[in-house]
Amino acid sequence: MKSLIRLSAIALASMFLTSCMIVRPGEVGLKQKFGKLSERVYKEGAYPYNPFTTTIIKTPTRTVNMEVILNLPSKEGLNINSNISILYRIDEERVPQLISRVGNNYENIISSVFRSASADICAKFMAKDMHSGKRGLIEEEIAMVMNEHLNERGIEIEAVLMKTIQLPPGLYNSIEGRLEAEQEVMRMQFLLEQEKLEAERKVIEAKGQRDAQQILLEGLTPEILEFRSIEAFEKLSESPNAKVIVTNGKTPFLVESATAE
């Protein structure tokens, strides 16, 4: 009997001496002794504790991805099924306050705040906006409203990501048709712009040719015409062919020619 008691005592002593809290990277630990939560935050490392009087509470401080599937209301009263990721992290220095006020089920608080914020924000937008470039704006506004409620508790919402949006089939087809029509309008506008540019190019080209001819005509003075006539006579005189030339003494005009033998 004494041996059994001795062995039990040794086992209890060993348990007491070897009980150790291991805090891994990306989390912190708290000790709760006799129901009272300690204010000290235990970071990465190993810490001994008494398992008979102390409970260990570990809380992740790394970025956590919380998945939510929710029907979002739109401005026109439609319900849009969406799969959403909420990226959040907890301020390690404020973990004691968070656990003492909310407990370990703080994700329920995050989910409740998200549902309220997303309903308020999405109700301001049309269903098609959630499927277009305005999705980013909706995500930012939801995250901003959530942070207004959660930052004071030590929870920071890093991002709200609307990963999938399932629109009603009729609305989806309508949006697709509208997008195709907009693309066709853009294509026609591009073609019209090209035609306009081509027309402007032709006008500029014609104007340039007209100006060039005008400059040429203005440069044909009587003196230049007489000089050109002299040049023409000289070239005709050097030709080996016989020619009949009609001229007014200023401008030669070749009427026929014969090859000299």
Residues 56 and 115 in one domain: no
The confidence band for 223, taking pLDDT boundaries of 50, 70 and 90, is: low
Residues 182 and 159 in one domain: no
Residues 79 and 133 in one domain: yes
Residues 79 and 158 in one domain: yes
- List the single range of 125-134, 168-177, 250-259 with lowest mean pLDDT: 250-259
Which residue has tokens 């398992």? Answer: 51
Phi/psi at 236 (5° precision) = -65, -35
Residues 215 and 231 in one domain: no
Q: What is the pLDDT of residue 255?
A: 46
Which residue has tokens 């005709």? Answer: 236
Q: Which of 167, 202, 234 is the last residue of a domain?
A: 167
Structural domain for 55, as ranges: 16-60
Percent of the chain at pLDDT exceeding 90: 23
Q: Number of structural domains, the chain?
A: 4
What is d(CA 31, CA 97) in angstroms, rounded to the nearest whole number?
A: 13
| Statement: residue 218 has pLDDT above 70 | no
Q: Note whether residue 249 is domain-resident.
A: yes
- List the single range of 55-69, 96-110, 160-174, 201-215 with lowest mean pLDDT: 160-174
Per-residue pLDDT reduced to its tens digit, 232-247: 666 666 666 666 665 6
Residues 92 and 48 in one domain: no
Per-residue pLDDT reduced to its tens digit, 61-111: 999 999 998 888 888 777 888 889 999 999 988 999 998 888 888 999 999
Q: Note whether residue 6 is domain-resident.
A: no
CATH of the domain at 89: 3.30.479.30
Residues 163 and 69 in one domain: yes
